[in-house]
Chain A
Amino acid sequence: MSKTSVLILRAAGINCDEETAHAFRLAGADRVDPIHINAFIQGRRRLSEYDVLVLSGGFSYGDDLSGGKVLANEMQSKLMEDVETFIGDGKLILGICNGFQVLVKMGLLPRTEPGGRRQEATVFYNDSGKFECRWVYLRRNPDSPCVFTRDMPETIYIPVANGEGKVMLASEEVRTRLGPGGHIALQYINPPWAGAGVAAREITAVPAGMAAEGTAGADDGEATGETPYPWSPNGSVDAIAGICDATGRIFGLMPHPERYTHPTHHPRWTREGCREPDGLHIFRNAVNHVRGAQ
């Protein structure tokens, strides 16, 4: 069987690198290295040694200027040639939370045109003005080319933890390109139990083209095209939680899949029983893809 090597790129302020490395080891990766970005900038290590590049969660450079911005600029100015080669070789890139912010601000997501570098979106402060840290329900887009979410359950449950998680798009024109390309891989949805009878007017609002379970036809039946707070924790356009590029090999999401890799991570496992952790599935998909591609 082919070996799978994963790089967890570290930088000042990144703090989810060890959990993410643990998730990839659980998923069966043969080699997982959390390594500081300076090793690559100084030429002591090379991205080409790896099959998967991961930008994990945290607060790179304190998110001092805005989430992920400084690390995005650093990668653009010092590593972009290597990153483009990495992408061109058909390898995988995953950005989680702060890593997602970095990928978006580098212009690698949604990257509706292959090779494009224009920043087409941003990840901005939550509408609530607060740090939102809790479990959320997501709907997987079955029409997305995303490698990481392939064959996952239609409804996914994992935690978010961010103050800047609101995905906004540069223009309406970008928005029209996201849907047909399957770029929107994950959307926040209402919980399955928040159906008819629970604040029907607000709760019935679901992402465009996606009917939440148990909510169809409730009360006025008018979907606004948005999932309301708190089910969408940040007010993202079209309730976007995760985006991939046109190839499906670059993927970023605001929620933290590495925080649901054991059945006992689930907040209700003692009452609802153990099940396959949704987060682990994302890492397994990456490992399996690499093995299949080699």
Chain B
Amino acid sequence: MAAESKTRRIAVVNRKDVVDAVGEGLRGDILDLGIAGIEGVRHVRLYALHGALSATELDRITTGLLTDPVTQEHLEIADGGLPVAPGEWGVEVWFRPGVTDAVGETALKGSRDLGVAGIESVDTGRGYILAGPLIRSQVDTICRRLLANDVIERYACYEGGQ
């Protein structure tokens, strides 16, 4: 039976024993904003794959293209968002509709190079898992001033355990 066309959202993150240089740099930037409660930041690469993909094809894209086999791992995320534990905040940043997504175009080309014909388009985004005793207004400040460019991007943030 042919696969149904739908959107699969994939999160790619460094393995826990691999240095997250982007996350560590952002932690310093958040401290520079005067938000002392930040304890850690994990950087996540987000992909929304649109198309009719079989389980094999999805695996081919995620393991053969989007995830480094030595340093990273991936998971499919539901509409509920990133897996965020109590005491953490999840942030997703995606382009606004109509903004050119050059990385998405590359991911589309890379998927087709792997022989995945059913892929129709790819959107890319960034995710962040913020650890520490933060309140929503602080997370909003972090998003607006650091993580997202409001002109071309939209963001969503949510608290773990809610």
Task: Verify A64–B22 contact, CB threshold 8 A.
Answer: no
- Taking the nearest CB of chain B, how far is it from the CB of A238, in angstroms? 15
Interface check B64, CB cutoff 8 A: yes
Q: Is the interface of A mostly helix, strand, loop or mixed?
A: mixed
Task: Verify A168–B65 contact, CB threshold 8 A.
Answer: no
Interface check B69, CB cutoff 8 A: yes
Interface check A66, CB cutoff 8 A: yes
C-alpha gap A99/B21 in the complex (Å): 23
Chain B hits for A168, CB < 8 A = 18, 70-71
Task: Verify B22–A125 contact, CB threshold 8 A.
Answer: yes
Partner-contacting stretch, out of A24-32, A69-77, A151-159, A194-202: A69-77
- Taking the nearest CB of chain A, how far is it from the CB of B147, in angstroms? 16
Instruction: Select B65's contact among A62, A65, A129, A170, beta carbons within 8 Å.
Output: A65
Query: Per-residue CB proximity of A77-89 to B under 8 Å, as 1/0?
Result: 1100000000000
Given contacts A127-B19, A168-B70, 18 further A-B contacts (CB under 8 A): A61-B110, A62-B102, A64-B103, A64-B106, A65-B106, A65-B107, A66-B68, A69-B65, A69-B68, A70-B65, A70-B113, A74-B113, A122-B70, A124-B70, A124-B71, A129-B21, A129-B24, A170-B70
Q: Count residues of A near B (Cβ-Cβ below 8 Å).
A: 24
Q: Is the interface of B mostly helix, strand, loop or mixed?
A: helix
Chain A hits for B64, CB < 8 A = 73
In the complex, what residue of chain B is closest to A73 when comparing beta carbons?
Answer: B113
- Taking the nearest CB of chain B, how far is it from the CB of A70, in angstroms? 5
C-alpha gap A96/B115 in the complex (Å): 28
C-alpha gap A125/B68 in the complex (Å): 11
Chain B hits for A119, CB < 8 A = 69-70
C-alpha gap A119/B114 in the complex (Å): 16
Interface check A38, CB cutoff 8 A: no
Interface check B25, CB cutoff 8 A: yes
- Taking the nearest CB of chain A, how far is it from the CB of B28, in angstroms? 10
**Within A116-175, which residues are at the interface with B (CB < 8 Å)?**
119, 121-122, 124-129, 168-170
C-alpha gap A22/B103 in the complex (Å): 32
- Known: A62-B103, A65-B103. Is A121-B113 also a contact (CB below 8 A)? no
Interface check A235, CB cutoff 8 A: yes
Instruction: Select B114's contact among A73, A121, A169, beta carbons within 8 Å.
Output: A73
- Known: A62-B102, A124-B71. Is A69-B110 also a contact (CB below 8 A)? yes
C-alpha gap A169/B70 in the complex (Å): 7
Chain A hits for B71, CB < 8 A = 122, 124, 168
Interface check B142, CB cutoff 8 A: no
Chain B hits for A62, CB < 8 A = 102-103, 106
Interface check B82, CB cutoff 8 A: no
C-alpha gap A69/B61 in the complex (Å): 12
Q: Name 6 A/B residue pairs within 8 A (Cβ), A-sorted.
A: A70-B109, A124-B70, A125-B22, A126-B21, A128-B21, A129-B25
- Taking the nearest CB of chain B, how far is it from the CB of A68, in angstroms? 11
In the complex, what residue of chain B is closest to A169 when comparing beta carbons?
Answer: B70
- Taking the nearest CB of chain B, how far is it from the CB of A174, in angstroms? 10
In the complex, what residue of chain B is closest to A128 when comparing beta carbons?
Answer: B21
C-alpha gap A125/B25 in the complex (Å): 13
